[in-house]
Amino acid sequence: MFTIYHNPRCKKSRAGLQYLREKGLPFQVVEYLKDPLTKEALHKLLQQLNLAPGEVVRKQEEMYRKELKGKQFSREEWIDILVESPKLLQRPIILKGHKAVVADPPENLDPLL
């Protein structure tokens, strides 16, 4: 079973969801803007992605450009920022078992198949 952390308003996230459907893969959807990740869940997801928090930040978001760009944050500070502002999280993130990928482009999912 796959889990997709999804924002239905995002074209890239919808493309990831469509890719799962086209492959006929079983999945569950987590709309992380409606049901935000806890600090603990985000820590675990980052481990599964094998990425640092700063690597999953959407740098094209207005909030990032206006408030965060050029500033240095610790791992815990990034975690706090992402938990408070989940819109900054790259999407879609697709999880299977103990591994996860940022599925942009959707073909990034292929190593989990």
Catalytic residue among 4, 8, 10, 14: 10
Nearest to 113 by CA among 28, 19, 42: 19
Residue 10: active-site member: yes
CA atoms of 58 and 63, how far apart (whole Å)? 10
Catalytic residues: 10
